[in-house]
Structure 1
Amino acid sequence: MTNSNNADEEDFDEFFKKFTSDSVFQMERTKFPFRVIWLTEDGEMTHETEKEDWTHSTFHYEDNYATRQVDGYTQEIKLFGDSVRLEQRGVDNGIYVDYLFIRENGKWILFTGRDYSD
């Protein structure tokens, strides 16, 4: 994935590799409180995680995750200029999660999450 037209702008692939492997870097590049929007029967609900409660996420994915017997899902990264959406979609289940990364001042940050799983 190529996404940087300017030498001052961070490449998403390089950022993501470090973001997923370095817990300190991940905390530095996550907007806190980290907000996740959940879809409920009553509408949207928001949950916020403070920095001290953050758990490092590797976003590790292997192709065989799509064919697992339980909770199979796919993961795809989609680039939209200065934003990236990491999509996790269930296979024959209700998993439907997005993570939004945005580029601010040339640097990528994890901005928010949306969980519309059922």
Structure 2
Amino acid sequence: MKSCKTFTLAAFCIFFLSCNKNKVEESNLDSQTKNSFESKKTETAENFEEFNKKFHSDSIFQVSRVDFPIEGKHVSGFEQYNWTRKNWEFLAIPVAEKTEIGEYEHSLIKTDSLIIERFWIPDSGFEVERQFKLINNKWFLISYNDINL
């Protein structure tokens, strides 16, 4: 009878310890998950001005930040096509608050997560518009129209 009580006590201790171990592991997992979530929540968004300089000076970086397939197209006279990695043309002129490009009209709309810049010559058939969007705290070009009729 004594060995039966010893066996029951040993089984109870093993059961109790294994349950307690699981609670500690669950607590550690909950803590890790919470910390991971909090670090993503506090991760700061990429600075647009820094992105803007690099995007317009580094062709490899630029292609990595064009969210192909993008909205918009290239139109020049009768030639027309949508943008792909293969026909992409490097954009060298950074987004600017003001521009010194003579005859062109210019508009810039900026929010925390979207930049829309447009150049055009009134009544000419010429218009360039590009849109940048903050996606997962990184800036991407999501639309580019280059129209010259």
> Is the structural similarity TM-score above 0.5?
yes
SS at match of 1:27: helix
| Counterpart position of 1:15 | 51
Alignment correspondent of 1:49: 83
Q: What displacement does 1:16 show?
A: 0.6
More strand by share: 1
Structure 1 segments of 4 or more deviating over 6 A? none
Conservation of the 8 A alpha-carbon contact between 1:36 and 1:47: no
Partner of residue 30, structure 1: 66
| 1:65-80 correspondence to structure 2 within 5 Å | 65-66=101-102, 72-80=103-111
RMSD: 2.9
2:126 pairs with 84, 87, 95, which one?
A: 95
CA distance in 2, matches of 1:21, 1:9: 21
Q: Shift of the alpha carbon at 1:73?
A: 1.1
1:106 and 2:142 are equivalent in the alignment: no
Tell which structure's C-alpha radius of gyration is larger.
2
- TM-score of the two chains, using structure 2 as the length reference: 0.55
SS at structure 2 position matched to 1:93: coil
**Same amino acid, percent of matched pairs:** 26
Q: TM-score, normalised to structure 1's length?
A: 0.67
- Is contact 2:74-2:82 (8 Å) kept? no
Question: Match for residue 69 of structure 1?
Answer: none
Contact residue 35 and residue 47 of structure 1 kept, 8 A = no
- List alignment gaps of at least 5 residues for structure 1: 1-5, 40-45, 67-71
The number of residues matched between the two structures is 101
Counterpart AA for 1:15: F
The answer (yes or no) to whether the contact 1:95–1:116 under 8 Å persists in 2 is yes
